[in-house]
Amino acid sequence: MALVSDAGTPGISDPGYFLINLAIDQNIPVVPIPGATAAIAALSVSGMPTDRFIFEGFLPAKHLARLKRLQELSKEERTIIFYEAPHKIIRTVEDMLEALGDRRAVITRELTKIHEETIRGTLSECLKRLQGGTIKGEFTVIVHGSTKEPLKQDIDTAGYLKNLILHRGLSKKEAIALAAEELGLPKKDVYKESLKMENTLNEAKGKGAGEDV
């Protein structure tokens, strides 16, 4: 099945992003059609927000300079795209984990070629995959932008889910995926909140039934 558009790259600043996320949730492989650059091809299938992003290219080769640049980017809220060479990819991801925290990331290599590979997860999960795999080809690393901590702490996740389902017409699964993305929270945590939301709704229904009697 192909996702095409009459102009531009599907998934880049258009609703294709939601369809790609649903495919990822169902473990359906998503691969890009050859494009002008690896950065846009990788971003189009990343499942990361594509409405606002920045391209950083290659980070400094020296460790301290690389850490300094990553620390400067630690508060960047847009999706960040990097390039990296195979002999430096593990050290770079280690530095990203230290400077940016264990946020969501997608790492691709050899896009549109026979050995194409996409690794998804947190930076620590991606690092383990890299350490246990084959390091060949040129890499594109896409990292989720910073999410303000107060939002994570103060937000009523169950209420947020309820709003997505009741007022935006999303299914429970779609709401969980979108809430995790927009709030910068692990999907498993949002799923737990969805169970609380269901219990609250069921209790409300039960009380309503008792009053009717």
CB 79 within 8 A of CB 48: yes
- Alpha-carbon dihedral angle through residues 44, 48, 51, 56, given to the nearest 10 degrees: -80
Q: What is the pLDDT of residue 151?
A: 39
Cα atoms found within 13 Å of the Cα of residue 111, Cβ hemisphere only: 26
- pLDDT (tens digit per residue) in 87-115: 999 999 999 999 999 899 999 998 888 88
The whole-number average pLDDT for the span 173-181 is 82
Q: Which residues have a Cβ under 8 Å from the Cβ of 152 and sit 6 or more positions away?
A: 183, 184, 185
- pLDDT (tens digit per residue) in 137-169: 889 999 999 976 433 444 567 777 877 777 667
Q: What is the pLDDT of residue 1?
A: 86
Q: What is the pLDDT of residue 153?
A: 41
Distance between CA atoms of 66 and 98, rounded to whole angstroms? 11
Under CATH, to which class is 16-146 assigned?
alpha beta
- pLDDT (tens digit per residue) in 33-84: 766 788 988 998 898 888 899 999 999 999 999 999 999 999 999 999 999 9
Residue positions counted in the chain: 213
Would the pLDDT of 17 be above 90? no
Distance between CA atoms of 62 and 169, rounded to whole angstroms? 49
CB 44 within 8 A of CB 12: yes
Domain boundaries, the chain: 16-146, 150-206
**Of all residues in the chain, what percent carry a pLDDT higher than 70?**
85
Q: What is the pLDDT of residue 173?
A: 87
- What is the chain's mean pLDDT, rounded? 83
The whole-number average pLDDT for the span 8-16 is 74
The whole-number average pLDDT for the span 106-132 is 90
Residue with tokens 């998503």: 30
